Structure 1
Amino acid sequence: MVVVEYGPEWLRVEVADTGGAPDPAAAGNGRGLIGLRERLGVHRGTLRAGRR
């Protein structure tokens, strides 16, 4: 599920999935969420990640 809401000076994006087994080919360096949080912080944004 993807939800996008916006206004004159804000943007909200919500992405949720049902989980499932991870794809071994999609393995990264483990900094994905940290990197997203850092990039959003530069623009005064926030990131919340966790279980639903």
Structure 2
Amino acid sequence: MSSSRSKRTIGHDEFDPVGTLSLIALYFLILVAMWLFMYFVEFVGNDPTVVGLL
């Protein structure tokens, strides 16, 4: 019983890394949300709220 396996090669034009691009976009959105939190909550007010309570 012999089974023949065929190997499919994917060229450069056929490769579409949608998952990788979506992960990079998700990480970028998380960084933007963290920056907005730090800017608007911590540094816009007169006194810091979380950092430097002393």
Which of the pair has the greater relative contact order for Cα pairs under 8 Å at 6+ separation? 1
Radius of gyration: which is bigger? 2
Q: Per residue, is there more helix in 1 or in 2?
A: 2
Q: Per residue, is there more strand in 1 or in 2?
A: 1
TM-score of the two chains, using structure 2 as the length reference: 0.29
